[in-house]
Amino acid sequence: MSALDFLSPSGAADAKGFHPVARSSMDRRQRDAGATFEERDGWLVPVSIPGEADRVAIAGVADLSHLCVTEVRPSEPVLEGEGVVWYRLSDRRSLVISDRAGAAALREDAGERTVLDLSGALSIIAVCGDEADTVVRRLTHLHHFPSSGEVAHITAHVLKPGAAYWIVFAQELGHYLWEVVVDRAAALGGGPIGVDALPEGARA
Amino acid sequence: MRLAERQGERIDRSAPVTFTFQGKEIQAYVGDTIGSALYAAGQRVFSRSFKYHRPRGLQCCVGHCANCQMTVDGTPNVRVCTTPVTQGAVVKGQNYRGSLEHDLMQVTDKLGGPFTPPGFYYKTFIRPRKAWPLYEKFLRGAAGLGELDPDGARDYRVDVENRHVDVLVIGGGASGLAAALEHATAGRHVVVVDEGPEAGGGLLGDPAGATQAGELREAARAAGVEILAPAVAIGLFEYNFVPVQVGNLLVKFRAGTVVIAAGIVEQPLVFPGNDLIGVVLPEAARRLVNYWSIKPAERAVVITADDNGLAAAEALSSAGVDVPLVLDLRDGQPPNIEASGRKGLVTGVSVNGSSTACDLLVMSGSPQPNVKLLAQAGARVEYDPARGIFVPTDLPDGIQAVGAAAGEVGEPAVPDAILGHHGDKCFVCFCEDQTTKDLKYAIEEGFDSIELAKRYTTVTMGPCQGRLCSTNSIRVYAKAKGVDENTIGTTTARPPYTPVAMGLVAGYPQEPAKRTSLHHRHKDLGGRMMWTGAWRRPHSYTADAGDEAQNVHHNVGLIDVSTLGKILVKGPEAGAFLDRVYPNRFSDLKVGRVRYGVLTGDAGRIMDDGTVARLDDETFYVTTSSTGADGVYQWFTWWNAVWFMDVEFVQLTGALAAINVAGPKARELMERVSDDDFSNEGVAYLDAKHVTVAGVSTLALRIGFVGELGYELHLPSPLAEHVWDALLDKGADLGVAPFGLEPQRILRLEKGHVIVSQDTDSESNLHEAAMPWIVKNDKEFEWVGKWATQQVADRGLRWMLVGFVSPSGVIPVEGGQVVVDGRSAGRVTSVRHSKELDQVIGLAIVPHELAVEGGTFDVRVDGVNHRMDVHLGPFFDPAGERLRA
């Protein structure tokens, strides 16, 4: 057992009659929007939200916080893997976003490197659709992706691993940032969507 | 009067629009502006001037001057000459008492002139002193333009958008569009912004030009140029940052190259009567005729220094206006021009004593290149005496100027700075009602530079932002002082280029609140939320915070302490690093143990506190105060950039939730949610142990946070609701209940715990905060703040943080004065009533000599001194038996 196991939401397991399930910092916002949830990899995931079909092509906003976010120190070498998004913060640090299996594989392959599970620290909002560029432009001055800097007055990383933007940020600001991103999207005809509504190319 | 349908007109006669002006219904067409519709309806008085309340009307029709400002749908100071009509709009005049046509405040023009020279407010309304409130009321009532509803809220949405482009062209006239086309053809991403309703600039003034403008737009768009209109560049800042207003959208452009193609600003001539209604600039006459098909007058005179006036004369003639006199100043300058009028409207003009009756006088002083944005960008601007204009001569990197803005305005005449002998009431600054007489007065008063004149007279400081008065005021100053214009120089160009609503600049209201992962559980439980730094936290859950504290003493309570800063310090030199940065020692801390620590700055002042747990030989887990999380992380990083120690830091504040389970029944509760041993042998006081709580891997710190047996559980944030729910569920019969920050304050005060920033300030040090035991001077390394801390000990203590009891039961305010011998001598830092102790207790900073058991001091409460008894040490459980239970 590592001294840092208590950092990882993945370490939770049924015990003493308890069934731990992780929740995103935006869980309540999605619940308010009428989301349907499913338990996946130990997380309660908002898979669909009423009205998403009308929004997804314009500016869909989805919560991908259930993905594993791992920090690897030092950055090199990059470890490839299907569905693994590798964001190099500096020579010394990289963020790696993957599903649970990908994170486990990363941990196996990391060797002597420091690997920290920051899934509990960072939330992810995905923005997809024709107006995704406009939504992002109304949130940040960042324009080369991946990039880090101010997004709606907070510090965040903005990645574009596929057809969608992923905004990776401190989870304690999730309630706030979800509200802001959805507001910007709604002004353009978009809004919240479930993760299953994300187009294939927008998931990673 | 509307003319018959004309080629190229901008109005759609099949689309009528109705709005009200001063309660009266006005008919207009789509394509009209409010100004054009009012003019077509016969309205001539549009506003009242700022100082003298002189009647003013349309003058430029391009949004450059401020003579047509009105209140539209509650928004004051709207330039109606460029504001499109909208169905049902409510338009009102402003800045008058009585009516727009008969303004009672015009008395200031008739009588007040001699008493209101520049700077009169420095010289008058001074005596008698007692009358100042009356003067102030009057002056405040008379000052300002338009009215804002102080209780009004913005009822429209604004957005802010960031754009990065290769080339931003400001100005969509012929030159701007040509430049855009050239850049786009070279493969660059180009955006053109133009303040007009559509790009075209000066070309749009006549039908043939409008056709040409249309072709240019099409060609540019075909080459990939994006054209935004109406879109106003508000300023030009460093690194080619250009905010642009597009309706209710503020677009923040960052461009590789900015091309200024802003054209010209037509300049008025300076002569007596030049502010009469009907004295207009050439583009106003052209637009009234060619855009909106209005016959603007019956009889017009044109006095011009350039071709623009001639184009206006041609347009007027085409509309059937009689133009008996066109005076081209390039053919020779008349020494004297004077306009005359009746009820503020021009009725004639006298040139060298020869009068001509007219109801419209077109004046064209000079085509001043629009260099404001260039000057903001840092371009050098110099006066060209041969043409009477300021031109850009040296542009910064990444800035280009093209067309008229670059000085390509032909060879206009240079009219005399003041044309007319009669009196000096020739207006130079229409916005601020500054005349040639006022400027001469300022010079006589010693304000002999144009920058001083600007501040003293307010010339160029009105809403036109100096567009119509900057050149003329410099020229008047040069003439009056007998020097050339380059010697006078220009005033500093500052953003905004044009007035902009504060709401647009403010953007969308955003409040980045941090919320713990238990935030909604607190709200569900009735928690009353409060701000603590950037966090939202529950103050309390019940009406009586004292009861919540009592439940901790007698049963078990839960408090969400997720906001505590949490930093991982990891590496072979982690212990040595902490020894250097903290006054106390951590390298000897055993694995699985916790120790309290206080951080001091270089000057030995207390900056933060928290706990340090050792997780393995090379890994320490540091907690900080809630507001200190970021600061301490940066502090560690900064010091290690100095020391280069083999240690890394990870900010874990948001990653981990923290729940403190405290009270005599805490152990029993923990045993119900975990299979781990929570006995004194399993998790001893000041132990840090890895446990599993309700199935969740958790770091449990057994610390005395609130003075009772307690376990601080640190676990992944996404699982916090699960663990919280489990604790509440399994502890129901134990009386488990959440407690908020307020009961926490009571509990911590009972133990005499110091809250950094509440009980300390920027001057507090370890000795005078009664924590000398923290200081470990026998460490082999220097530690941050050691020297300064030692200096305090060496010089002797002056103050001391002590506990006190209020024997009378009076509760002083926090911050209340400690009084010794009738003088202020310290302050109360914390005070609460403890139900458990049935006493009012507190902490106070007092003179050191009073910090003795049995000592007393006074605290002033509502003007009365009340005795307080000094109490050293914890008020509750001084032996700490309950912590170790």
Answer whether B801's CB lies under 8 Å from B768's CB. yes
Helical pair B545-554 and B741-750, crossing angle rounded to 10 deg: 60
Tally of residues, chain B: 885
> What's the pLDDT tens digit per position in B756-769?
999 999 999 999 99
Residue B705: the pLDDT is 86
Average pLDDT, chain B: 94
DSSP character at residue B3: P
DSSP character at residue B396: P
Residues forming beta bridges with residue B803, ordered by sequence position: B843, B871
Distance CA B468, CA B65 (A): 7
Distance CA B660, CA B264 (A): 69
In the stretch 488-547 of chain B, residues with CB closer than 8 A to chain A read 508, 510-517, 519-520, 535
Please name the residue of chain B whose CA is at the shortest distance from the CA of residue A173: B514
Say whether A173 sits in a helix, a strand or coil: helix
Going by C-alpha positions, the residue among B541, B521, B527, B650 that lies closest to residue A175 is B521
> Which alpha helices (DSSP H) does B751-865 contain, by range?
786-795
DSSP character at residue A18: B
What would the two tokens of residue B525 be? Answer: 């439980």
Distance (Å) from the alpha carbon of A118 to chain B's nearest alpha carbon? 6
Average pLDDT over residues B510-519: 95
Answer whether B651's CB lies under 8 Å from B621's CB. no
Average pLDDT over residues B149-164: 87
Element at B441 (helix H, strand E):
helix B436-444
Contact residues, chain A, for B163 at CB < 8 Å: 137
Please give the backbone phi and psi of residue B825, each rounded to the nearest 5 degrees, phi first. Answer: -150, 55
Element at B486 (helix H, strand E):
helix B485-488
Q: Residue B423: is its pLDDT beyond 70? A: no
Q: Residue B883: is its pLDDT beyond 80? A: yes
Q: Residue B422: is its pLDDT beyond 70? A: no
Residue A204: the pLDDT is 59
Q: Residue B424: is its pLDDT beyond 70? A: no
Q: Do B718 and A73 touch (CB under 8 A)?
A: no
Taking every pair of Cα atoms in chain B, the longest distance, rounded to a whole number of angstroms, is: 113
- CB contacts < 8 A (A, B): 157
Amino acid (1-letter code) at residue B265: V
Contact residues, chain A, for B712 at CB < 8 Å: none
Taking chain A, what is the end-to-end CA distance rounded to the nearest angstrom?
31
Average pLDDT over residues B421-444: 87
What would the two tokens of residue A183 be? Answer: 């507001």
DSSP string, B89-156: -EEE--S-SB-SSSBGGGHIIIIIGGG--TTHHHHSS-SSGGGHHHHHHHHHHHSSSS---TT----S
Contact residues, chain A, for B255 at CB < 8 Å: none
Q: How far is residue B269 from each of residues A2, B295, B458, measured CA to CA in Å?
A: 84, 24, 20
Contact residues, chain A, for B506 at CB < 8 Å: none
Q: Residue A129: is its pLDDT beyond 80? A: yes
Residue A80: the pLDDT is 76
> What's the pLDDT tens digit per position in B324-365?
999 999 998 888 999 999 999 999 999 999 999 999 999 999
CA-based angle B527:B533:B537, to the nearest 5?
A: 10
In the stretch 254-273 of chain B, residues with CB closer than 8 A to chain A read 254
What would the two tokens of residue B779 be? Answer: 């460490």
Answer whether B685's CB lies under 8 Å from B673's CB. no
DSSP string, B528-584: EEEEETTEEEEEESSS-HHHHHHHHHHSEEEEE-TTSEEEEEESTTHHHHHHHHSSS
Q: What is the dihedral of CA B717, B719, B723, B726, to 10 degrees?
A: 150
Spatial strand order of the sheet with A85-88 comes to: A85-88, A94-98, A68-73, A114-117
Distance CA B310, CA B303 (A): 9
Q: What percent of chain A has pLDDT over 70?
A: 99
Distance CA B25, CA B41 (A): 10
Please name the residue of chain A whose CA is at the shortest distance from the CA of residue B652: A121
Q: Residue B166: is its pLDDT beyond 80? A: yes
Distance CA B706, CA B690 (A): 22
What would the two tokens of residue A45 be? Answer: 């995931």
Q: Do B690 and A6 touch (CB under 8 A)?
A: yes
Average pLDDT over residues B362-389: 95
What would the two tokens of residue B463 be? Answer: 């809403």
Selecting from B511, B512, B695 the residue whose C-beta is nearest the C-beta of A14 gives B695
Distance CA A113, CA B877 (A): 47
CA-based angle B338:B342:B343, to the nearest 5?
A: 125
> What's the pLDDT tens digit per position in B787-841?
999 999 999 999 999 999 999 999 999 999 999 988 999 999 999 999 999 999 9
DSSP string, B831-864: EEEETTTTEEEEEEEEEGGG-STT-EEEEEETTE
Q: What phi-psi label fits residue A165: left (phi over 0), alpha (psi between -120 and 50 degrees) or beta?
A: beta
> What's the pLDDT tens digit per position in B69-109?
999 998 899 999 999 999 999 999 999 989 999 998 888 88
> What's the pLDDT tens digit per position in B695-718?
999 999 999 889 999 999 999 999
Distance (Å) from the alpha carbon of B655 to chain A's nearest alpha carbon? 3
Residue B759: the pLDDT is 96
Q: Do B654 and A140 touch (CB under 8 A)?
A: no
Taking every pair of Cα atoms in chain A, the longest distance, rounded to a whole number of angstroms, is: 49
Average pLDDT, chain A: 93
What would the two tokens of residue B68 be? Answer: 């047509």
Residue B139: the pLDDT is 82
| Comparison of pLDDT for B713 and A78, the residue scoring more | B713
Distance (Å) from the alpha carbon of B600 to chain A's nearest alpha carbon? 28
Average pLDDT over residues B438-446: 92
Bond into B230 cis (ω within 30): yes
Please name the residue of chain A whose CA is at the shortest distance from the CA of residue B671: A16
Instruction: Kindly report the number of other CB atoms within 10 A of residue B308's CB atom.
Output: 26
> Which alpha helices (DSSP H) does B241-332 contain, by range?
282-290, 307-318
Distance CA B719, CA A44 (A): 11
Distance CA B321, CA B318 (A): 7
Distance CA B552, CA A81 (A): 51
CA-based angle B117:B277:B204, to the nearest 5?
A: 120
Selecting from B519, B698, B726 the residue whose C-beta is nearest the C-beta of A6 gives B698
Average pLDDT over residues B643-656: 96
Distance (Å) from the alpha carbon of A22 to chain B's nearest alpha carbon? 5
Residue B84: the pLDDT is 94
Mutate to test the interface with A, among B676, B692, B698 (most CBs of A within 10 A): B692
What residues contact residue A166 under an 8 Å CB cut-off, 6+ apart? A64, A85, A97, A124, A125, A126, A158, A159, A160
DSSP character at residue B465: T
**pTM of the entire structure?**
0.90
Going by C-alpha positions, the residue among A183, A181, A165 that lies closest to residue A173 is A181
Contact residues, chain A, for B520 at CB < 8 Å: 28
ipTM for the predicted complex comes to 0.97
